[in-house]
């Protein structure tokens, strides 16, 4: 069930953070090169609060919390339309600054978003910790009589694959054979030994969503899946694969509940283009964590940011060229829903969500559309190549065209949210 308050709060907080950071990038870059900001606005429309500081800059909060802007001396509007247009040069305006300074101010907003993403992803390891090495069992979901594993066991190898310091549980899972049990090489009380136990990603249900197909079928947390329509379920990935292929047809699920075999019929339901039965998994064990070294955390933040950036650019290019499924383009409804879910899952999940949205905002703003920062860079490039600014009428035409493109993309994404 959607928590409307969480969605509303998550969306507002997301805009406040990523948009204000973006505009602060423009603001401080302008101050560095001598461009004078007149207004720093959080939101659009009529101000509901404003204050002028000792530098004459008006700080305001406006009625529509769907963005924000910095208006500089000489600007006609929040898009800085007149900054490279024909007309008198006003001291302290963007037009009065050098072309390199104007480009620096334009790119500083997206750069602020990228920097935030790197910082956020560098902070996350300190919040959640990183897996300690050697791997040490911190908690076992099932009793040691069933698993053979105990708290404090050091895991040296899983299914003959030695555990290295850089290994994560997810990386180890990708190499496991398709069996329900694997051999763990462990060290217990200083003595090496082997234990045959369930695989770490066994199909053990950790939670059942209220009102879901699994809930109505009577499934409970702690149930251990065995087969679906006669197909053996060894791992959580098997469940996901079989349910995804069901296409909404009824499935017969056999599972174990505290040693008692049980059977039920379940029909998956579609949500966001995926077939789901409404259950979450529970790993066999959790591993002890530790605080990372500062350098390792920063390296991880940079690496994860680069991976995100690569995926975003590739995905955006695919959407714009028609190579990707149009349903891959999420709109405001889906983003709002994810924001609400992220804020309910805790600060770590919400910070990760903010990092992704911030990077996405930075990349989107670099598109060569006049209403965006990339459009300002495009106009500056034109002026640098021709030696004269683009005329004011042509800027207005491009501005309207840019707004049309952005509105079209937003409408397309919104339709995707409602139909995909």
* pTM of the entire predicted model: 0.74
Q: Check residue 85 and give its pLDDT.
A: 46
Q: Which residues are catalytic?
A: 23
Coil, strand or helix at 350: helix
Cα angle 371, 376, 381 (rounded to 5 degrees) comes to 140
CB 206 within 8 A of CB 225: no
Residue 93 CB coordination number (10 Å): 21
For 208, counting Cβ atoms within 10 Å of its Cβ (0-12 exposed, 13-18 middle, 19+ buried), the class is buried
Mean pLDDT over the full length of the chain: 85
Q: Identify which of 29, 39, 38, 45 has the alpha carbon closest to the alpha carbon of residue 60.
A: 39
Domains in the chain (CATH in brackets) are: 4-127+355-419 (no CATH), 131-201 (2.30.42.10), 205-282 (2.30.42.10)
Residue 249 CB coordination number (10 Å): 10
Query: Looking at per-residue confidence, does 116 or 161 come out higher?
Result: 116
Q: Check residue 79 and give its pLDDT.
A: 52
Per-residue pLDDT at 265 exceeds 80: yes
- CB-based contacts of 267, cutoff 8 Å, min separation 6: 213, 248, 249, 250, 251
Q: What is the mean pLDDT of residues 37-58?
A: 90
CB 116 within 8 A of CB 358: yes
pLDDT single digits (tens) 319-358: 667 676 666 666 677 777 788 888 888 899 999 999 999 9
CB 104 within 8 A of CB 30: no
Q: What is the mean pLDDT of residues 231-259?
A: 91
Per-residue pLDDT at 82 exceeds 60: no
Phi, psi dihedrals of residue 377, rounded to the nearest 5°: -65, -35
> Which of 156-160, 271-275, 306-310 is predicted least confidently?
271-275
């Amino acid at each position: 069930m959607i928590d409307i308050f969480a969605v509303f709060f998550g969306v507002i907080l997301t805009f406040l953070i990523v948009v204000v950071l973006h505009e602060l990038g423009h603001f401080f870059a302008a101050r560095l090169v001598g461009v004078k900001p007149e207004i720093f606005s959080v939101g659009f429309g009529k101000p509901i609060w404003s204050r002028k500081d000792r530098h004459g800059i008006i700080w305001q909060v406006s009625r529509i919390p769907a963005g924000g802007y910095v208006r500089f001396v000489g600007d006609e509007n929040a898009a800085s339309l007149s900054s490279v247009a024909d007309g008198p040069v006003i001291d302290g305006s963007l037009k009065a600054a050098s072309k390199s300074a104007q480009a620096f101010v334009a790119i500083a907003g997206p750069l602020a978003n990228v920097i935030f993403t790197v910082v956020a992803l560098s902070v996350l390891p300190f919040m959640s910790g990183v897996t300690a090495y050697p791997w040490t069992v911190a908690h076992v979901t099932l009793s040691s009589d069933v698993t053979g594993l105990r708290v404090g066991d050091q895991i040296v190898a899983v299914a003959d694959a030695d555990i290295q310091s850089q290994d994560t549980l997810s990386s180890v899972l990708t190499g496991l054979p398709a069996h329900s049990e694997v051999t763990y090489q462990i060290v217990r009380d200083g003595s090496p030994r082997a234990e045959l136990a369930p695989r770490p990603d066994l199909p053990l249900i950790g939670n059942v969503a209220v009102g879901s197909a699994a809930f109505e079928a009577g499934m409970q947390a702690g149930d251990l899946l065995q087969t679906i329509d006669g197909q053996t379920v060894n791992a959580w990935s098997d469940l996901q694969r079989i349910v995804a292929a069901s296409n909404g047809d009824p499935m017969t699920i056999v599972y174990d509940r505290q040693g008692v075999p049980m059977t039920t019929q379940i029909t998956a339901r579609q949500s966001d283009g995926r077939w789901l039965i409404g259950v979450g998994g529970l790993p066999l064990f959790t591993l002890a964590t530790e605080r990372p070294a500062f350098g390792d955390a920063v390296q991880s933040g940079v690496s994860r940011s680069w991976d995100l950036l690569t995926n975003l650019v590739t995905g955006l290019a695919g959407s714009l060229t028609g190579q990707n499924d149009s349903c891959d383009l999420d709109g405001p409804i889906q983003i709002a829903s994810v924001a609400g879910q992220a804020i309910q899952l805790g600060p770590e999940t919400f910070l990760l969500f903010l990092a992704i949205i911030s990077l996405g905002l930075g990349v989107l703003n670099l598109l060569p559309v006049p209403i965006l920062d990339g459009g300002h860079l495009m106009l500056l490039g034109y002026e640098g190549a021709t030696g004269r600014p683009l005329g004011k009428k042509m800027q207005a035409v491009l501005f309207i065209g840019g707004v049309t493109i952005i509105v079209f993309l937003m409408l397309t994404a919104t339709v995707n949210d409602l139909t995909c």
